[in-house]
Chains A and B, each alone.
Chain A
């Protein structure tokens, strides 16, 4: 049980980078971008093939990021210069990327278990720090018999995701970032303040897909393979993370919202892991579970809010009635 949860958190933190990308388009730009399903695989494919050809893993991961950025820019171009509807430009790009990804990989699945990946490199450095034995010692002292093999991935990913989050927070507060946010908020207004909304949309969708592809490259290195179908349903996982996170942690400031998205990505993984342990649910039910999760986090907060509001009103009415009774005033 502990181990499967540990694994859920571990991959949740990597997927959180993808979710941050989805947050950029879906929330900041108000651009429902479906390129994600394709660009995630593009990232995985570019990282896998680069590593197999002897490119250092860190460089391979950055190449994945650049590939995603380019894919996103094309979606942005389709929408702004080609005047194609946002959903349709995403779908078109996603479809085109499927073939491109297959070209990059050359076959549906490429595995590279034996190659040196970013995580293997990190692990070899990590082992020397002695954190593993310390953490596992702590765990066994509280009575856990099964301890994780390594804390390296969770540790280093926590750091990388946090850096990505802080960079995103910073960017969204810069002059360019403010203009980008205003583009998603009120295009007419930001144009009257001399911002080129077309280039901002292209930049925003590009950055979003850069993060998605970066996450794809890391997931491929984590699992040791890249598969042309590994991106199917990725956008809905991203949306689930954003929506669940926002429902639980709130969105008062940008820093809070990006933290919420990371939290949402981890919680999503944990819930799915838990759900799959229920006897009658199978792996194939995962998409259904995701859909139900998203629906719940969209509908429940609204229901709770309206119930709270009703309660507040009935209490107010009760108070007034009591006061009237005390003063001896009757409606009659």
Chain B
């Protein structure tokens, strides 16, 4: 479904600020895979997401979605295949437009936009049905401007907008990080339900290790632009936070040791 091959990118090359953000990344997702990505700040998680979405381009490497080479396609063209939720609850919706108008925009993601009404009676019923599944009462507020919603409500709406057209790939970029614990829990629950309902192939970045362990069928740990750990299936279901931390230390201290060996 999603295939990344030899992705590399370096920012500010040949300057003191040079940063190898991704080093020869290879990753392949089957249809319905739900992969959680963890790693410290600057590990390359967001860069990886941006490579898939097309808001950044790699120096070398290929991106295939559904067998189609998309590495040259700009973000807006790839967006037909990709649903996306950002960390900032304000980023995924248009604040001065109503809930139904936002949903109408999301509905025309996979096709050419035409000169016909975006919100029709039929569509309004459809939107109501989708919104009522969120169980937060948004179905009665179709005409409310999104700017009046709380952060949690906006993020729930963003999540719905990103998923209900069943994209080939769903990208979740720390989408619960800016919410309070109870809202984050609600959004996590919704995420699980929506991904299961539509059987979406998902990449999710998170800083919450427990969340990374609980969700999905595969876990990836990144560090310094590389994938250093890739656990899936049964092995993942038995995973604990302690295991992860121990593994991280083992992998990185080994390298540290070898670096020191070089210095000596």
Contact = CB atoms under 8 A, between A and B. Distances in A.
Given A174-B115, A177-B118, A194 B80 contact: yes
A175 interface: yes
B75 to A, nearest CB: 5
Given A179-B105, A190-B94, A197 B76 contact: yes
Contacts of A179: 105, 108, 113
Contact of A188 (B86, B101, B161): B86
B121 interface: no
Contacts of A194: 76-77, 79-80, 109-110
Contacts of A185: 94-97
Interface in A158-201: 171, 173-179, 181-182, 185-186, 188-197
A39 B167 CA distance: 43
A188 B54 CA distance: 12
Nearest to B92: A189
B97 A181 contact: yes
Contact of B116 (A174, A189, A192): A174
A179 B106 CA distance: 10
A192 B84 contact: yes
A177 B110 CA distance: 17
Contacts of B105: 178-179, 182, 190, 193, 195
Interface residues of B, number: 35
Nearest to A195: B76
A193 B118 CA distance: 14
B94 A181 contact: yes
B229 interface: no
B75 A192 contact: yes
B119 A182 contact: no
Contact of A176 (B53, B76, B115): B115
A156 to B, nearest CB: 27
B194 to A, nearest CB: 17
A121 B19 CA distance: 70
Given A191-B79, A192-B79, A194-B109, A173 B117 contact: yes
Nearest to A197: B76
Nearest to B74: A196
Most buried by A among B101, B113, B116, B162: B113
Nearest to B165: A193
13 contacts: A174-B114, A174-B116, A174-B118, A177-B118, A178-B113, A181-B94, A181-B97, A185-B96, A188-B86, A192-B53, A192-B79, A192-B92, A193-B79
Interface of A: 171, 173-179, 181-182, 185-186, 188-197
